[in-house]
Amino acid sequence: MFNSTFKIVYIIEFFVVFVVRQTYTARYRKTPIATKRTQLIDLGLLALIGLGMLTPLIYVFTDRLDFADYILPDWIGWLGVLLFGVAIWLLWRSHADLGRNWTPTPGPRGEHTLITTGIYRSIRHPMYAAHLLWGVAQAMILHNWIAGLSLIVFLVPQYLLRVGQEEEMMLEEFGQTYREYTERTGRIVPRLGGSSSRS
C-alpha cells in the first residue's frame, strides 16, 4: 500500500504529469483537426497506455500486486525519480514548443506548421522520448514486476506502430522540407552525426 517514500514520490510526479497534459489538452482542444486519421488501433493503443498508467495506482493504493514485488537498491529508485523528473520536463517542453499543433492521435491541426525549434531542433518525437523515459523510471521507482513494467511494456508497441505512421503523415504534409529535417535530427535522441533518419 501507500507505505514507502518511492510510492509517495511517484504519485507526486504522476500528478505533475497529469497537470501538464491536462493543461495543454484543455488549451488546444478547440483547435480543429484538419484531417482526422484516428483508427481503431489508435484507440486500442491509447487504452493500453491508460492501463499502463492505471496499474501503478492500483499498486500504490492497494496491496493487490504486492506478490510481484522485487528488490532493488535505493539508489536505483532515486535515479528513477530523477529520470522521471527529466521525463516531466521533456513532456512539458514538447507541449510548449509544439503549441496548437499537438494532437493525441495522428492528424494535423488546422493551419498545421512544422515545428523545428526548441526541443524539436534536436529530436522529432520528444513526447515519445518523454513517455519511454517515464516507463523506464517507473520500473526503477516501483519495485514490482507488474506495476513497475506496465507502462514500458505498452509504450514500446505504441512507439513502433505509430512513429512511422506519423512520419509518413508529415512527409505528405511538408514533403522535402520534412525530409531534410529528418536528416539533421534523431527520432527520440539527438543525432550525433551521419545522415540516416533512423534513431
What is the rounded CA–CA span in Å between residue 158 and residue 64?
Answer: 27
Question: SS3 for 35?
Answer: coil
Domain count, the chain: 1
Q: Which three cell numbers stand for residue 113?
A: 506548421
**C-beta neighbour count of 164 within 10 angstroms:** 11
80 inside domain: yes
Q: First-to-last CA distance in the chain?
A: 39
Write the CA distances from 44 to 105, 128, 130, 168, integer angstroms.
11, 17, 20, 21
* Tens-digit pLDDT profile for residues 45-76: 677 777 888 999 999 999 999 999 999 999 99
- Which CATH number covers residue 126? 1.20.120.1630
pTM: 0.83
Is residue 156 one of the residues assigned to a domain? yes
131-187 pLDDT tens trace = 999 999 999 999 999 999 999 998 888 888 889 888 998 899 899 999 999 999 999
In a domain, 195, yes or no: no
Range of the domain at 112: 5-184
Whether 197 is covered by a domain: the verdict is no
